[in-house]
Amino acid sequence: MKLLLFVTGRGTGGDAVIAYNILKTLESRGIMGEIVLDYSAQGYYFKKHNMSWLKSSIPAAGGHAASKLSLFKAGLKTIKAIIVGCHLIKKEKADGVIGIIGGGSVIGCLSAKLAHVPAVGIVSTPTDTKISLKCNNTILLPESPFFTTKDTINISKYHVKREYLPIREDIVCGDKNNILDKLTDKYDANKKSILFASGSTLFEDMAKAARNYARENDDVNIFVIGAPLHEGINEIIDHPNIINLGYVNYIDDLYDLVDLAVITDDGLTLHETIACKIPVVVVIGVKYGRYHGLSKIFEGAIIESNVDNITYNINKALNDYSSMKRAVSKYSRDILESSEKIIDFISSHII
């Protein structure tokens, strides 16, 4: 049994991590899988794990931030990409396809259709959701517009399942004692710790949120992580009350240290922090104006905020900490089990 995992993007961010987590869960069950990336993808995340990948054409439209123009341009490339993908499936003698988010889902699933092999689409954007629901069995991730739809029977003639993002189960096994020597002398073990993060990349509005909070609060440890999106971001977070850790490779241990996470309302970081039972404040609109409303899905565990009122909402979270901690604990187990549940669904419809 061999499955191809078509993955959108550059092979560096959250989509790559999702694909990797799914692949590893497949392998734990004795199922062979191979990653497929666009010709132009750098694949840094997979290189880090000493993995190779197959190449095909997987045009991107911009995901949740896609414009009509970017969708149109991606659409023009789609027919050729589907044909190339079909040839790859046949060349590799694949038994099925997993299309992972955005272009990975669209091209993977349509290529599988042309190659006459089964596929499962794992979707999160409006475009990939619409196409997957019409073509094959589908897993709806929380960012998909249909995730909160109560009636999944009538939205597709295929089987549909809602599931949280697949994360590493050992994400909850970090130990803060491993990183105490990595922290600056600004760190005070007697104070609560707050993490500001927008993923592996630090976006400007998240940096501004950290700066705004730091200006008014010196009774907590304020950690900021991520590689700056541009050079000016380092100037924003250059503040006596901010501990700038930059890009980190010890996120598990950092999760064990912090009491509250201030992050964006999307992606793996949100799922990881909730799995670690860390209450969350989400700063909306950080990534190109995106808004997913995930506070409705993780009710009671998340408080939404803008950059301008970040101090009020963080202090509200700290005041309501006990109730938020109870709420976030309710979702932890389901998130940790998401990888296995996704593979159960794939197994029942492809294998």
Each residue's pLDDT tens digit, 117-174: 999 999 998 889 999 999 999 999 998 989 987 776 678 999 999 999 999 999 999 9
Strand partners, 244: 224
pLDDT tens across 244-259, in order?
Answer: 999 898 999 999 999 9
φ and ψ at residue 209, rounded to 5 degrees: -60, -45
Q: H/E/C letters for each residue in 273-330?
A: HHHCCCCEEEECCCCCCCCCCCCCCCCCCEEEECCCCHHHHHHHHHHCHHHHHHHHHH
E strand or H helix at 4:
strand 2-7
pLDDT tens across 185-239, in order?
Answer: 899 999 999 999 998 889 999 999 999 999 999 999 999 999 999 989 999 999 9
Sorting pLDDT into bands at 50, 70 and 90, what band is 81?
very high
Residues, the chain: 351
Strand partners, 282: 263, 304
Strand partners, 199: none
Note whether 56 and 88 are within 8 A (CB): yes
Handedness of CA 120, 49, 44, 57 (dihedral sign): negative
Cβ neighbours of residue 177 closer than 8 Å, sequence gap 6 or more: none
pLDDT (0 to 100) of residue 65: 45
Q: What is the rounded CA–CA span in Å between residue 138 and residue 123?
A: 7
Note whether 226 and 197 are within 8 A (CB): yes
Q: What is the rounded CA–CA span in Å between residue 65 and residue 151?
A: 27
pLDDT tens across 322-350, in order?
Answer: 999 999 999 999 999 999 999 999 999 99
pLDDT (0 to 100) of residue 64: 44
pLDDT tens across 52-80, in order?
Answer: 999 999 987 444 444 444 554 556 678 89
pLDDT (0 to 100) of residue 82: 94
pLDDT (0 to 100) of residue 334: 94
φ and ψ at residue 232, rounded to 5 degrees: -65, -15
The closest of 348, 183, 338 to 270, measured between CA atoms, is 338
Show the tokens assigned to 193: 């710790």
**R_g of the chain, CA atoms, integer Å:** 20
pLDDT (0 to 100) of residue 292: 62
- Percent of the chain having pLDDT more than 90? 77
Note whether 198 and 287 are within 8 A (CB): yes
Residue with tokens 């590689």: 227
Residue with tokens 């497929």: 36
Show the tokens assigned to 274: 């909730």
pLDDT (0 to 100) of residue 75: 61
pLDDT tens across 275-290, in order?
Answer: 999 999 999 988 766 6
The closest of 224, 191, 167 to 22, measured between CA atoms, is 167
Amino acid at 249: N
Average pLDDT value over all residues in the chain: 91
Q: What is the rounded CA–CA span in Å between residue 124 and residue 333?
A: 21
Please give the residue that has the higher pLDDT: either 249 or 3. Answer: 3
Q: What is the pTM of this model?
A: 0.88
Q: What is the rounded CA–CA span in Å between residue 162 and residue 148?
A: 9
Sorting pLDDT into bands at 50, 70 and 90, what band is 265?
confident
pLDDT tens across 159-197, in order?
Answer: 999 999 999 999 999 999 999 998 988 999 999 999 999
Cβ neighbours of residue 119 closer than 8 Å, sequence gap 6 or more: 96, 97, 98, 99, 108, 109, 112, 113, 135, 136, 137, 350
pLDDT (0 to 100) of residue 185: 87
